[in-house]
């Protein structure tokens, strides 16, 4: 009887302990966030001197709906189960690798855009304030150099408006939305009239209907 009571008590303790443990997935995310915070703090000497891990880690854990006691309890639980703890850290590593790949892609994209902006700026440095005949180049200037485009209270279709042609004016839209199309008959190779016979001739081989 005593053994049964001890077994029931142990089962209840394990159940209550399991309810307070942080799940695997969230635990991996918390560890990944903690690692990023550590790297950020320890990369700055002033931040490192005044860093308090209790204040640093608390908000991270709270973001996932837990407190530091839950985190410590969960770590203590998995320390005795190294295989499961290793899985949690491996998943945290995968999360960090994915975030690093995303950050590298954003940096590469920004560098590519910066390089493009520099090339465009060099290209339009001399002609940004002059007339550009090509509508595509005018559109690029308007997109990348809006400050160098003339501001209009009302668009006037004169030479000055053409010089500072931009999609902000009605003049630009009327100029660039036109469809230049020739009449269809101009594309015909032979425009001569085809005359039909005045009177249909009967076919001698056809049998009469009566």
* Tens-place pLDDT, residues 13-33: 444 444 579 998 999 999 999
Do 48 and 93 fall within a single domain? Answer: yes
Tell me: the pLDDT tens digits for 99-152?
Answer: 999 989 998 988 888 887 777 777 666 555 556 666 667 677 677 666 655 555
- 120 compared with 48, residue with greater pLDDT: 120
pLDDT at 41: 77
Q: Kindly state whether residues 144 and 113 are assigned to the same domain.
A: no
pLDDT reported for residue 112: 84
Burial 24-57, CB ≥16 within 10 A → b, else e: eebbbbbbbbbeebeeebeeeeeeeeeeeeeeeb
Q: Is the pLDDT of residue 97 over 90?
A: yes
What is the pLDDT at residue 38? 82
Q: Are residues 152 and 111 in the same domain?
A: no
Instruction: Give the total number of structural domains in the chain.
Output: 2
Does residue 34 share a domain with residue 83? yes
Residue 204 DSSP SS3: coil
- pLDDT at 158 > cutoff 60: no
Rounded CA separation 172/156 (Å): 10
Could you tell me if 148 and 96 lie in one domain? Answer: no
Q: In terms of domains, do 59 and 114 share one?
A: yes
Residue predicted with more confidence, 130 or 68? 68
Helix ranges, the chain (H) = 2-20, 24-42, 45-49, 53-63, 68-79, 82-124, 135-144, 159-163, 170-176
Structural domain includes residue 130: no
d(CA 130, CA 124): 10
Contact 58, 67 (CB under 8 A): yes
pLDDT at residue 6 in the model:
38
Q: Which domain holds residue 162?
A: 135-176
Percentage of residues in the chain having pLDDT higher than 70: 44
Q: Find the mean pLDDT for residues 157-165.
A: 50
| Alpha carbons 155 and 175: distance in angstroms, whole number | 13
Are 143 and 106 within one domain? no
For range 74-102, the mean pLDDT:
93
pLDDT at 16: 45
For residue 207, pLDDT beyond 70:
no
């Amino acid at each position: 009887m005593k053994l049964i009571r001890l077994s029931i008590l142990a089962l209840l303790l394990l159940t209550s302990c399991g309810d307070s443990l942080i799940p695997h997935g969230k635990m991996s995310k918390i560890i990944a966030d903690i690692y990023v915070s550590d790297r950020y703090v320890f990369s700055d000497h002033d931040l490192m001197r005044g860093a308090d891990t209790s204040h640093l880690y608390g908000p991270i854990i709270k973001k996932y709906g837990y407190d530091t006691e839950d985190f410590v309890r969960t770590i203590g639980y998995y320390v005795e189960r190294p295989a499961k703890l290793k899985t949690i850290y491996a998943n945290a590593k995968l999360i960090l690798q994915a975030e690093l790949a995303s950050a590298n892609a954003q940096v590469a994209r920004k560098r590519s855009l910066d390089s493009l902006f520099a090339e465009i700026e060099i290209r339009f440095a001399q002609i940004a304030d002059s007339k550009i005949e090509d509508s595509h180049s005018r559109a690029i200037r308007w997109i990348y150099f809006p400050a160098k485009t003339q501001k209009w209270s009302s668009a006037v279709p004169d030479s000055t408006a053409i010089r500072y042609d931009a999609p902000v004016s009605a003049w630009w839209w009327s100029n660039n939305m036109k469809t230049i199309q020739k009449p269809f008959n101009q594309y015909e190779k032979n425009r001569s009239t085809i005359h039909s016979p005045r009177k249909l001739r009967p076919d001698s081989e056809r049998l009469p209907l009566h």
